[in-house]
Structure 1
Amino acid sequence: WRQQAENLARYMRKGSLIGVEGQIQTRSYDDPNGVRRFITEVICDSVHFLESKSARGDSAISDVNQYDIPSYNQKASEQPKDPFEDLKSDFDVSNDDLPF
């Protein structure tokens, strides 16, 4: 988490909305008693603050607007257009074709 953890501690509080980019990594080990233990870790590449100071309603926390905060609260009319809507391909997909 490096510097990101320090920024989170400084500018955010429990319940604040953040976005985390990275990987989830799992591993296992045998403890001294011979019991297999499993660990899930978040390998964080970047953190995005998803709400402004005014949205949090806490004037005691420093202003996060100095960071490049993406807008995740777009209205439905501002949503990007479907990139596949102009695709001129006829194909049929059944539930049996899906891997899940």
Structure 2
Amino acid sequence: MAGGNDEVPAWSTPHSHLYPGARLSTGTEDIATGDLLVLFRDGVVVPGTLDESGVGDEYVLTVDEYVTRAGTSIPGRSWIVAVPAPLAGVVDVRRRADPTHP
């Protein structure tokens, strides 16, 4: 990450999994690509990455495979996310990303 800051951002969601329409709190108004952690409602913390999508204000959020606290296996997935205007500090999951996205 730029500026020598080695701290990995942590985004949180009040859900146990992501889906179109889910919202994540970024904890900051500045969105930076790179590694991050996703903190789910059930206490599970999952590594992920955020990349530019190349389309408008959208990003690609890739979340690794994980198991919810209830024991449900969630496969790794990539999602198209964006900051909903005029809000800052949150991103909305818009849809699943193309599975062939690099």
TM-score scaled by structure 2?
0.20
With the length of structure 1 as denominator, give the TM-score of the two structures: 0.20
Structure (1 or 2) with the greater helix fraction: 1
Larger strand fraction of residues: 2
